[in-house]
Amino acid sequence: MSKISYMTQAGYDKLKNELEELKTNGRQQAAKAIAEAREKGDLSENAEYDAAKDAQGMLELKINELEKALATARILDTSQMDTSKVNILCTVTIKNIKIGKELTYQIVSEAEADLKAKKISSSSPIGQGLMGKSVGEIAKVQTPAGEMSFEIISIELI
């Protein structure tokens, strides 16, 4: 049984569009590259052909992964979510107790995680440490750099 992945409607739509792009244009480009390489002669010694086949295999793997992610996706309705505790899709402001710096992140699914956009995965060490905590609580998070402590400043739905 696959793990359920919770995501926003926007995240679901983005994955669905990426899948469609790979299935149409991606497959066409892979087939074209294989056909061009095949025209160059002996397939047993044709590095371009091998590379094109490898690229096609990677494309099909990516398509398969996206299909699995979409099949197990559950779209969350933020209007019915509780903000008394940190949960997926919540935007949480935390304070690093050691250095006193405040950071704001949105907790999202693995498929939607993007650190540059301040979206962290609920399955990441920090995401796991924050889940279920309330405002004022201290979350102790085990990271590769050692244990870090964060105070929950606010929880919102944005």
pLDDT tens digits, residue range 111-124?
788 889 999 998 89
Please tell me if the domain spanning 5-75 has the same topology as the one spanning 78-156.
no
The domain locations on the chain are 5-75, 78-156
**CATH number of the structural domain 78-156:** 3.10.50.30
pLDDT of 143 above 50:
yes
| CATH no. for 5-75 | 1.10.287.180
Between CA 135 and CA 86 the distance in angstroms is 8
- From residue 56, alpha-carbon distances to 14, 42, 147 in Å are 22, 19, 42
The arithmetic mean of pLDDT across residues 145-152, rounded, is 90
